[in-house]
Structures are given as C-alpha cells and as structure tokens.
Amino acid sequence: MYRSNVLVCGGTGCTSSSSGEIIKALEKEIKARGLENEVEVVKTGCFGLCALGPIMIVYPEGSFYSMVKVEDIPEIVEEHLLKGRIVKRLLYQETVDGDNIKSLNETPFYAKQRRTALRNCGVINPEKIDEYIAMDGYKALAKALTEMTPEQVIEEIKASGLRGRGGGGFPTGVKWSFAAAQPKGQKYVCCNADEGDPGAFMDRSILEGDPHTVLEAMAIAGYAIGSNQGYIYVRAEYPIAVERLQIAIDQAHEYGLLGENIFGTDFSFDVQLRLGAGAFVCGEETALMTSIEGNRGEPRPRPPFPAVKGLFGKPTILNNVETYANICQIILNGAEWFSSMGTEKSKGTKVFALGGKINHTGLVEVPMGTTLREIVEEIGGGVPGGKKFKAAQTGGPSGGCIPAEHLDIPIDYDNLISIGSMMGSGGLIVMDETTCMVDIAKFFLEFTVDESCGKCTPCRIGTKRLLEMLEKITEGNATMEDIDKMEELCYYIKENALCGLGQTAPNPVLSTLHFFRDEYIAHVKDKKCPAGVCKSLLQYSIDPDKCRGCTACARVCPNGAISGKVKEPHAIDTAKCIKCGACMEKCKFGAISKG
C-alpha cells in the first residue's frame, strides 16, 4: 500500500516542458531513498493550469508544485516525501497564505470551476484501465446494458438537455433518436476529435487525460441507436492522444468491455481509430465521414443528414469528444443532476481553452451561464502587464468577438449567438488594447482561405476576395465603399457556402465590424491603425525635445534609417524605415513614438 501519490501532468503542455524527464528523475530519486514501496509516481492528464507547467501534486497533502524543474526533484523527494516538510518555495504561490497552505480548490483558478467532463483529468493515470474503473468507469455502460432499454438511454440524454459541445449546440438526445428511428441494420457511432480551431485544446486534453470515458460513452451510444461499430476521427498531430486512445481500446478489449457480448449481454461493440491529416474542413461532419471512407475530405450537401445516411451510406451519429465526456455522468447521476447545472437552454458545464493575453493560460470547466468576466478576470487571472481587456474571441475562425461592454454576459449557446459570436468548441482567446481588430479578422480569414477545400465557389473565391479587401484596409488603400462591399460579400458567403466552414467564415469580419467599426473607419479614413499593429499605417518618429543623441537607436536600426550626430537629436528617414520597432524598444528616454 502506497502512503503517498505524486501526480505529474503528462498532458501535451507539461510534456513539452519536459514533465517526462521529471517523472524519470522522481522515480530515480525515490528509489535512491528507498521509498519506492511507499510513494507512487502517477502520470496523469491535464490539470488545467498549463501556464504554470510542469505541474505536480503530492497527495495526501495535496501540495501543488508548479513550474517544477528536474533540479528541484532531489529537494522535493528528500524534504517532502522523506521528511514530511513541504517545500514552500516551489508551491504554486496562490496556495501559500503566510504560514498556511490553502487547498487548491480555494484558489481563484479552481474555486469557480466544476470539473465534470474533465473530472478524471489530472486524477487518474489514463493508461491504466483499473484506475478508470475505480472512478466508476464502465459502470454507466453496465447500467445502460443491464438496467435500461435503448429508448430509456435516449430519453435520459434528451431529458438532461445536453447539447453538442463541438459548437453547433444541437440536442444530443434528439440526434440519437433520429438514428435510432432508422430501420435495423448496420449503423455507426462516430467521434469527432478533429479539433482544429487555432488555440483550442479541450478535446485533446480529454483524450489524453481520460480516453476511456469517450470509449464508454460511444458504446452507450451504440447500444442506444443499435450500432456495433464506432470510429474516432482524431488528428494525427495529437500523438499523445492517439497513443493513449489505442492503449485504452486495447485494454478495454482485454477486459471484454469492448468486443463481443459485453457483460454477457447480446450487445457487441468495437471502436477503431482513424487519423486525420489536419484539414480544418474535416471537422465538418459530412467531410469527416467522407474522409473516414478513404476519400478526399470534402463536405456534401445536407439533407440527407448523417442520422439517415451517413458513414458508408448508413445511419450514423457523430458527436464531439466533450459531448461524449458528459454521457457516462448523465447515465450514472441522472438527467436531473446534469440539468441542475447551467442556464435554461444550455445545461451542464463547458470546457474552455484560455489563451492569448491572459495570465492563467490553460483549461477550465465552468457551469454554463458563468460570465465572461468571471472566466477572464477571476479564473484566468486577468490581462497581464496591466493592459486593458479589449475583447475575447470565441469559436475560432467560425466565431466572433465579445467586447468589453459584454463582459457580464452569462455564457451559453443562445447568448453568444445573440451578440453575433458563437460558443464554438471552446477556444477563448483574450485580446488586449494592443490588438488590432482588423488584423485579427485578417488572421482568421487567412486561416479559412488556407483551409477552404475549394468545392464550392462562395467559400473558395469568396473568402479569398474577403481577405484581399481586409488587406486593402490594413494597407491603407481602401475606401468607405470597400467596407460596404465587404459587408455585402460576408452575407453572400454566409448564405451560399456549402458547409459550416464557409457559412461561418465571415463571422470574424462581421463581428469585428459590428463592435469595432470605428477601428475599420480609422484605417480607411485616417489611414491610422489605433492599436499600432498594421505596419503600412505606422509612422515612427523621434521627439527632438526628448532625444539626447545617445545613438542607441541608430545603432540598432537594421536598415540604417536613423541619422544624427552624437548628443544631438536624431531623425528617422520614413522612406527607409521598415517599421520593425527595434529603435523604440531600445530608446531609454521615451523619445520614439509610433502612430
């Protein structure tokens, strides 16, 4: 029996800051001290506080060590594990309160979270099925198979109010009932793990930290609609997720929790992985299934909807990873438990990947209806460097931005749509006053132009033209008429594109136009970029009253654009200036400004 467990994050974030080496060092040091039968080292999934990785928690004390280095390991082992003295200087400082050490759940980052889909992430070793089973794993499948009819399973999911977490927000139980209503025969259960939005890593973290929950939920879905085969379409760029999923599938097979006659019933179910090559369009359901079939990942018109005619022409349900991660909990705890969380039309919790200009970059799960202010300011720790919050971007290239005046809006599907954004899969990128909103719209359009599959004209050509218009604006060559034309084109693409990618591609433009029209006008009329981002519109100048003639700027300028004598005011030759900003960074007297 171990007296202590040391949990080390093995998610992608912490792995990239060498948590693997930390685990090795820990094991070596523990052995050297003869503690290997007393202390167990456990590699877990993501704890959420990625900004402070690599992360390590020592139980039973619950000591949360952050930004651990390999060099710190001997001290932690000797002091904490051997002598019982917590190494305070290495603890996450939010948990240190004078002489006391606070519980992690009392820190601002965790206090308002409600980890449901992420419940096992950072708790269990995702590569050990026994640990998943100990956390009531496969109990929901057992309950469904032995105590419930397929209709009851669907009714339970319907009653819970669970909606698709991939972004669309379609009621999951209703989707299942469509596929269940199709005549008996071959049907498929698919999982969309093709998370492609820039800045989103919710699904990856669930797959890395708790892969069995997805398998179990897919088996439950298979039972509900009458399918014996599941496919997980996962990005090949998620190597850790792919590896742990395969381990999980193999272990579940070994235990008979996947395969023939599960729990001795006549229900059989198998799951296979299909690796995506990283095309954004393959996150769209029809393109995803086309890709699984071995064809080029292109969407097709709907109807017929996948529930009627999906993968290989058979009735298919396709749900997102996070949606599946809620299913077992609903079956075990009941629909009422789930619907007690959230808002009237959006039940349960939502996982968000916090990124951009925010202190606590990481993964958070909050009840629906939590305000953006709570997420950004309390959980996320606010904007770094004393800068002002400008907007948050949700929904990636399909979504929009939420400006500061809507910080107090309770986040759910319908509220976000009402202000011209969308939930998306949960990427939440925070922007401060140094972000140019036209530039952001341009960034997302560059992405969609790249990722458009080219099948339909509105998307293939429309997004390209849209991007050209945005470039014209950021270069200072646009007229007010261009803005009107651009807006018209946005609506045209939305109405006419074939699939979700094209239909939502103009959203970043429309929502920035809606909330930050003055910035667009400044670019067009005044030929200025208020945030100082768009290079073509920038002018660097030296204030002769402040310049002391130290020559630092002239020496750092890569293009020889600054001239002047020592101890005399310098000047910038705007024709030669490439607007790199190196001079401004170097000046100690604040004499250089841009605008």
Q: Which is nearer to other proteins, 47 or 516 (CB)?
A: 47
Q: Which is nearer to other proteins, 104 or 547 (CB)?
A: 104
Question: At 138, phi and psi to the nearest 5?
Answer: 65, 5
The C-alpha atoms of residue 130 and residue 251 are separated, in whole angstroms, by: 9
Residue 416 · residue 394 · CB < 8 Å:
yes
Pairing of strands 427-432, 4-9: unpaired
- Count of C-beta atoms within a 10 Å radius of residue 309: 17
Q: Residues 254 to 313: which contact other proteins by CB under 8 A?
A: 255-257, 261, 263-264
Q: Please choose, from the candidates 400, 411, 428, the residue with its C-alpha nearest in 3D space to the C-alpha of residue 348.
A: 411
Among 36, 75, 97, 130, the residue binding other proteins under the rule CB under 8 A is 130
Minimum distance between the CB of residue 80 and other proteins, rounded to whole angstroms? 8
Q: Please choose, from the candidates 474, 587, 523, the residue with its C-alpha nearest in 3D space to the C-alpha of residue 572.
A: 587
**DSSP β-bridge partners for residue 274:** 233
Residue 176 · residue 157 · CB < 8 Å:
yes
Question: At 521, phi and psi to the nearest 5?
Answer: -65, -40
The C-alpha atoms of residue 258 and residue 143 are separated, in whole angstroms, by: 15
Span near other proteins by CB under 8 A; candidates 133-141, 200-208, 275-283, 291-299: 133-141
| 250 is an interface residue for other proteins by CB under 8 A | no
Q: Convert residues 39-68 into a mask of x (bound to other proteins by CB under 8 A) and - (unbound).
A: -x------------------xxxx------
Span near other proteins by CB under 8 A; candidates 78-86, 207-215, 400-408, 561-569: 78-86
For tokens 């996947």, the residue is 258
Minimum distance between the CB of residue 5 and other proteins, rounded to whole angstroms? 5
**DSSP β-bridge partners for residue 259:** 269
| 247 is an interface residue for other proteins by CB under 8 A | no
Residue 11 · residue 56 · CB < 8 Å:
no
| 345 is an interface residue for other proteins by CB under 8 A | no
Q: How many residues bind other proteins (CB under 8 A)?
A: 37
Distances (CA, A) of 479 to 467, 471, 520: 15, 12, 10
Among 5, 107, 246, 551, the residue binding other proteins under the rule CB under 8 A is 5
Q: Convert residues 196-235 into a mask of x (bound to other proteins by CB under 8 A) and - (unbound).
A: ----------------------------------------
| 7 is an interface residue for other proteins by CB under 8 A | yes
Radius of gyration of the chain (CA): 27
Question: At 49, phi and psi to the nearest 5?
Answer: -90, 60
| 105 is an interface residue for other proteins by CB under 8 A | yes
Q: Which is nearer to other proteins, 3 or 28 (CB)?
A: 3
Q: Which is nearer to other proteins, 64 or 324 (CB)?
A: 64
Q: Convert residues 134-153 into a mask of x (bound to other proteins by CB under 8 A) and - (unbound).
A: xxx-xx--x---x-------
Minimum distance between the CB of residue 84 and other proteins, rounded to whole angstroms? 3
Q: Which residues bind other proteins (CB under 8 A)?
A: 1-5, 7, 38, 40, 59-62, 82-85, 103-105, 123-124, 130-131, 133-136, 138-139, 142, 146, 255-257, 261, 263-264
